[in-house]
Structure 1
Amino acid sequence: MSSPQTDSPVNPMPPVVVALFLAIVLLEALFSLGTRGLLGGPEGVGWRQGAIQDYGFNAEIFGWMLQNGVWPSEHLQRFVTFIFIHGSFTHALFAGIMLLALGKFVGEVFSQWATLLLFVTSAVGGALVFGLIAPERPWLIGAFPGVYGLIGGFTYLLWLRLGQMGANQARAFSLIGILMVLQLVFGLLFGSNSTWLADVAGFGFGFVLSFFLAPGGWAKIRAKIRHR
């Protein structure tokens, strides 16, 4: 029995989500201080742009690797490193807030390793789709493809719950629908590029992966296959 004095009224944030958030925040703090000349001197001003060039994902580089069948490690790492580089403080702030919100919900149901795998794999999948079909071929940076993967996990859990309640399971997709409408509105107002493709793909990967990564998910799938 746990004592009232030691119980917390708020469930703790999953450690893996905290670690991802800190990685984003600390790197952004480094870039922001460098841009303002408060760290690194004159070289600090170019830290962000240098990181984008060295660690951001770019569809043209990916196309070159596909065409030549060459997969150097310094370019393969871009599939993961782009997650932690953002274009501005605001970009990183919104990504971090959404990571904490969705990561807490998903991480309280999924295991730590499953939450991390869902986030990273969704981001990698989003970058892959972006690299294959993005027409404008801009740089892809930021945690949003991975965050959208967590939205996919959130949608899966809500989809399951609505099914257990006998409610309309299509309601589970309300959040992604609202976000896509907002992206469309912002795109019309301020202009947009094809990076939204990575976000949508990240959501799709996250939703599908949740069937396997959710507690007991793989066992249920094997049972259904054996039953057939």
Structure 2
Amino acid sequence: MNHVSRDNRPPPPQATQVGAPAFLWVLVGVMAAIELVLSLSDAGYIGATGLRWPAYALGAFWQPVFAGAIPPAYPGQTVAMFITHAFLHGGFMHLALNAVILLSLGKFVTARVGPARTLLVLFLSAVGGALLFGILAFTDAPMIGASGAVFGLVGLWQADEYYLRRRHGLTLKPVFTAIFGLIAANVAFFVMLSGGLAWEAHLGGWLAGGLAGLALLRNR
């Protein structure tokens, strides 16, 4: 039954979200601006000695710093790097891959839980990814990128699919198939990149996002 107002005119159509929400574009814009500066520095246009590695030294997640094997570069780095690493990338290709997934899945997640909770999920997933990397990885190489946060959105999306199928009595096979596909993709990229994949951060972000999704979407 359609609602009709008292003067017999139908209500105006509700506006629908076209594209990703503005706050996600702001996040991507900040990441892109940082990468642009670092890439220009790599090419010799700005910075006398290059800015990328100093930026990594200050903002990347360093497992030896987390483990206490080496001192932090500045007070508070041990805490700050749980977030700052997500804004640094290894080039525009790395950034573009994360940005596309962040914008597309972020739109879906925002529609389900709202902007504030989406930001919370991104925060928890970035922290969760860094935490599991710090626990499981034993490397002197820096960990950078928003993939932990991105995998958190994937985890929430799969939690939503899980609840949806349970409520409608549908098979959960597609959910588990997607999870196994995610594992297979990580294994494939790990091999292709000769071990240069922070799968620990992906797993930590996915777990954080999935658990957040199970909590936030339980009664929806």
TM-score category, normalised to shorter length: 0.7 to 0.9
Q: Tell me how far apart the structure 2 counterparts of residues 130 and 151 of structure 1 sit (CA, whole Å).
A: 18
Tell me the residue number matched to 1:2: 12
> Is 1:79 aligned to residue 88 of structure 2?
no
For the aligned residue pairs, the C-alpha RMSD in angstroms reads 2.5
TM superposition shift of 1:177: 2.5
Moved more, 108-117 or 179-188: 179-188
TM superposition shift of 1:197: 0.9
TM superposition shift of 1:130: 1.0
Q: Structure 1 residues 7 and 16, CA, compared in 2 at 3 Å: closer, same or farther?
A: closer
Describe how 1:41-120 pairs up with structure 2 within 5 A: 41-43=47-49, 46-64=50-68, 72-120=75-123
Q: When you count helix as a share of all residues, which structure comes out higher?
A: 1
Query: Equivalent residue of 2:112, what SS?
Result: coil
Q: Tell me how far apart the structure 1 counterparts of residues 168 and 214 of structure 2 sit (CA, whole Å).
A: 19
TM superposition shift of 1:96: 0.7
Amino acid at match of 1:19: V
Amino acid at match of 2:103: L
Tell me the residue number matched to 1:226: none
Tell me the residue number matched to 2:155: 152
Q: Tell me how far apart the structure 1 counterparts of residues 198 and 126 of structure 2 sit (CA, whole Å).
A: 12
> Is 1:135 aligned to residue 138 of structure 2?
yes
Instruction: Say if 2:24 and 2:102, in contact at 8 Å, map to a contact too.
Output: yes
Q: Tell me how far apart the structure 2 counterparts of residues 7 and 110 of structure 1 sit (CA, whole Å).
A: 18
TM superposition shift of 1:198: 1.1
Instruction: Say if 2:152 and 2:206, in contact at 8 Å, map to a contact too.
Output: yes
Specify every segment of 5 or more residues in structure 2 that has no aligned partner in the other structure, as ranges: 1-10
Match of 1:165 among 162, 168, 171: 168
Match of 1:18 among 17, 25, 28: 25
Deviation per residue, 1:93-127 (Å, 9 max, x gap):
11111111111111111111100010111110111
Q: Tell me how far apart the structure 2 counterparts of residues 32 and 144 of structure 1 sit (CA, whole Å).
A: 20
Amino acid at match of 2:141: P
Amino acid at match of 2:12: S
Q: Structure 1 residues 7 and 189, CA, compared in 2 at 3 Å: closer, same or farther?
A: closer
Deviation per residue, 1:11-52 (Å, 9 max, x gap):
3422332222112112112212222233x2434xx2121111
Q: How many residues align?
A: 208
TM superposition shift of 1:92: 0.8
Q: Tell me how far apart the structure 2 counterparts of residues 172 and 18 of structure 1 sit (CA, whole Å).
A: 29
Deviation per residue, 1:177-224 (Å, 9 max, x gap):
22321221232233114610110111011100112334xx4xx5xxxx
Q: Tell me how far apart the structure 2 counterparts of residues 24 and 191 of structure 1 sit (CA, whole Å).
A: 26
Q: Structure 1 residues 213 and 191, CA, compared in 2 at 3 Å: closer, same or farther?
A: same
